[in-house]
Each structure stands twice: as structure tokens, then as C-alpha cells.
Amino acid sequence: MSLTTDESVAAATDDTTLVDTSCTATIDAPIEQVDIPAWCFSLADADYQACSHAHYAAGSTTAPDGRRMSINVEVVGGTIIVQHYVEDIAEPDHLRLVSHSDLFTSTGRTKIDVTWELKVTRIDDRTCQFTNRFRSSAPPEMLDFLAGQGLDFDTFRTARRPNSEAHNREETPGFAKSIERHARARAGSERS
């Protein structure tokens, strides 16, 4: 499995963007066998935990409007994040999830907005490229929280970026391998 990190993700950032990071890895399965939403919303807790040392729990449910939701708990840069990812785009080769997440810092709890986007593109008949991208931004609650703590937003943003990028580099190959296993299992069950 190859892994590359796009350090120059050209984010359409505004002044509240915290992190925008993207990593890729190769999946050894034909793109026709990959179904990212099916993988995500059936991902076992143990499989999620195996993709990163910072992953603590995952499960699936539905949002009040009936859309599928993935609940993830992880620690990035020493901060616990509980994400409530609701599907925004759900196609076999593209899943985008959005979350108004809970962030538990050493000085209290606040909110953070996160978009998690997963895509696969065809390389050849047997492989595809997986892209794992996440973007986070500070909603008004976070900006008020930081101001109340006397913390400078730009300093907070600068401190978060390296941990978030390292986390993405760690979890991307694990997710790719998990998606690959899911694709092969689907292909096997379709042949039976």
C-alpha cells in the first residue's frame, strides 16, 4: 500500500478554518467492488480502533431526519473529540460526512465543525486510489470559548495543524486496508 500526503491542500479557507488535510493510499481492489458508504456505516468498533492508536470508539445510527450517522470518538493532539457525522453525499465512490462535534479540552467543552470526505478513483482494473480528507473549522461557540480563555485563535490553529496532519497520515492506510477487505468480502458474497 502506498501512502502520500498532500501537504499543499489548497483549502477554500476562511478565517475560521483550523485544519484541511488530505492523504491518499492505494486500495488493491477494483473500484467496482468498493462501496464507501456501505463500509463506513457497517464499520465495526474494533476495525475503527485498529486504524489509528487515537481511535477509541465508533458506531452507526440515524440522524433525526433519517440520514445515516457515524459516531466516532478519537483523541487528536491530546483533545477528545466526539464526532456526529451525518451523511451529506453517499455514493459508492464518494462519501462526505458533516459533524458539529464535541471537543473536550483541558479547560472545558466546546464545539468544532468537521467535514470528513472519502473518495476512490480508478487506477486500473485491479486498484484504486483512496483519498481521506478532513476539514475542521471553528463555529461561533468555539470562538467564544477561546476568547473566554484568553487564547488567540491563530495560535490555537497553528498548534492543532501538525497533530491533525499526523493523525490523517496514520489513519489513511488503515482505512484503505479496511475498505479493501470490505470490497473483497462483498465481491466474495456476490459470487456465492
* pLDDT tens digit at each of 192 positions of the chain: 444 444 443 334 468 999 999 999 999 999 999 999 999 999 999 999 999 999 999 999 999 999 999 999 999 888 899 999 999 999 999 999 999 999 998 889 999 999 999 999 999 999 999 999 999 999 999 999 999 999 889 988 888 888 889 999 999 999 999 999 999 998 776 654
Pinpoint the alpha helices (H) of 65-138. none
pTM of the model: 0.89
Query: Nearest to residue 169, comparing CAs of 119, 136, 137, 134?
Result: 134
Measured distance CA(163)–CA(94) in Å, rounded:
25
Q: What three-state secondary structure class fits 183?
A: helix
CA dihedral sign of residues 7, 13, 15, 20: negative
